[in-house]
Structure 1
């Protein structure tokens, strides 16, 4: 397949791939919750992304001929941002519910315009500011309802920090993917992510008990490697490269409701009515930030 034909095919399926990625991520919150209860965080991330990098490196081995310094820089920056984001998200997941973890992570969609302001000097408009206040209100409702009715627990705070670095990752992907092969760049991203994770695992976390690797954990890890990493993250990078930013951001925000859906379906979580109001406000904030409610205005 020629490069032009490949780009045409990827562009055609970019939006459906992003939606598929959000479905996979929504289900992966439950898998991550069970896996993080068994493996130390850094060990879980190191194992997951080491195997993910190996899988992509083998599948796309012909693309290694494109490797140069810019690919190494881009892959390392993307991997570092994603590593920090996942580390905070996973540490947060140890102390909060998978449903709340899914929604707080989605806040990155609102943060992105402000990051672009800092980097590209493009000031956010009134819709971005409105979205920020809607998001804060939604977070407040979610965090003060349910069994753990406190302003913020540490798991929520860590997850929000992770959301900020997910926004950094989105900015990095937009910057480094332009004019470059997204498959090689994603492989290098996974490889650098794995290296950072192993450093954390060796110096900050005790080695897991070999007996912990039972069939249930191995199945969970396989799901995270093949679907949540090789599949979903690659789909996200493709989507960002070939889909308009506003469309991609709104589609990526579907991760949050899918996360709650799978938490209710498989993890026996029971969100309260006020929590649902908070979730709705966060979703509206994402839509406001990325579409500016253009679909509500009459076309001239």
Structure 2
């Protein structure tokens, strides 16, 4: 069935549902990564996850990948994949050493960092709303991460480093993807991430014990590969073109909220008043950074 025909058959509510399902899937993935990383080390986990995701997505879109194959696409995909590998590597190290809920919200701070990265690279000055979002975000990070002696845990710090790399990746996606097929670039990114994860994992990490590779672990990997890496990404890419940007940004920002929800329900994370305040501040910062510009655009045009 042709892509355009599929799009005509989906009602507007269907696209919004996709943009809810994507953050639900990603939110649950934080808990699953927390469990999986007890079996297989972070780099190896990324290697297996994204090599398999690259094969799966490449098979589904084989004609597009073959049609767009060229050195330029390979180089761009390799660079973006390297940046995204670093983001996921630090994030996965982080989730191994902190709670899934904190990992989800601290990862989400990359949204607030992106405008300041653009300032450095493109000399595009952040707006007042970006500065407000940054202050709220920093306050939220303090509530979430800092202990009574004003020190942060190792897992929280690694997660924040990952958030910086996610922001860098987002900036370079904007620079590298113009006029290119993003699905094909994503396939190349997945392969680059898988190769980096496999190489680094084999060099610096111990191999997992065969006895630890259970049916439950395989099921978790299937979820991370099929749903968290491929399906959710396709939901986002397809639906964002059919939903107003402000709505899309708000719905996608729910990833961190679902991350905490699943962490409480499944992982048993205990939420204190201080954490709730921190989570609220970070979420408000994300909404201010992402949604405000899209609301402001039509008002300015009027």
TM-score by structure 2 length?
0.88
Partner of 1:44: 45
Which range moved further: 106-115 or 284-293?
A: 284-293
**Partner of residue 175, structure 1:** 175
Aligned length: 297
Structure 1 residue 15, shift from structure 2 partner: 5.3
Contact kept? 1:173, 1:237, Cα under 8 Å: no
User: Residue 245 of structure 2 contacts residue 294 of structure 2 at CA under 8 Å; is this kept in 1?
Assistant: no
Which whole-Å deviations, capped at 9, do the CAs of 1:244-300 have from their partners, x for residues lacking one?
Answer: 76655433321110100111111111101221111111111111122338869xx67
> Unaligned stretches of 5+ in structure 2?
none
Q: CA deviation at 1:87?
A: 0.2
State how 1:59-208 maps to structure 2 within 5 Å: 59-63=60-64, 64-144=66-146, 151-208=151-208
Find the counterpart in structure 2 of residue 22 from structure 1: 23
Q: Is residue 2:223 matched to residue 1:223?
A: yes
- Which range is displaced more, 174-183 or 217-226? 174-183
Decide whether aligned partners of structure 1 residues 155 and 241 sit closer, same or farther in structure 2, where only a CA change above 3 A counts: farther
Q: Deviations over 1:103-154 (max 9, x none)?
A: 0000011011111111221100111111111001111111246xx9863101
- Over 3 Å counting, the alpha-carbon distance change for 1:252 and 1:157 in structure 2 is same
Aligned to 2:209: 209
Equivalent pair of 2:78/2:188 in contact (CA under 8 Å): yes
More off after superposition, 251-260 vs 87-96: 251-260
Residue 256 (structure 1) aligns with? 256
In 1, Cα distance between the equivalents of 2:69 and 2:294? 41
Residues 174, 241 of structure 1: 8 Å contact kept: no
Bigger mean CA offset, 164-173 vs 263-272: 164-173
Give the direction of change, closer, same or farther, for the CA distance of 1:69–1:239 in structure 2 (3 Å limit): farther
Q: For residues 291 and 65 of structure 1, do their structure 2 counterparts lie closer, same or farther at Cα, with a shift above 3 Å needed?
A: closer
Q: CA 1:117 to 1:4, structure 2 compared with 1: closer, same or farther past 3 Å?
A: farther
- SS state at 2:97 partner: coil
CA contact (8 A) 1:42 1:200 kept: yes
Q: Which moved more, 1:116-125 or 1:164-173?
A: 164-173
- Tell whether the 8 Å contact from 2:246 to 2:292 is kept in structure 1 after alignment: no
Q: Which runs of 5+ in 1 are unaligned?
A: none
Change (3 A) 1:243 1:294: closer
Residues 82-120 of structure 1 deviation map (CA, whole Å, 9 limit, x = unaligned): 100000000011111111000000001101111111122
SS at match of 1:207: coil
Cα distance between partner residues in 1 of 2:134 and 2:277: 16
- Structure 1 residue 14: Cα displacement: 6.0
Counterparts of 2:243 and 2:120, CA distance in 1: 23
Q: 1:96 to 1:227 in 2, by over 3 A?
A: same
- How far apart are the structure 1 equivalents of 2:250 and 2:112? 10
Task: Give the C-alpha shift of residue 239 in structure 1.
Answer: 5.8
Instruction: Describe the shift of the 1:248–1:109 C-alpha distance in structure 2 as closer, same or farther (beyond 3 A).
Output: farther
| Whole-Å separation in 2 of the counterparts to 1:16 and 1:116 | 31
Superposition deviation, residue 230 in structure 1: 1.2
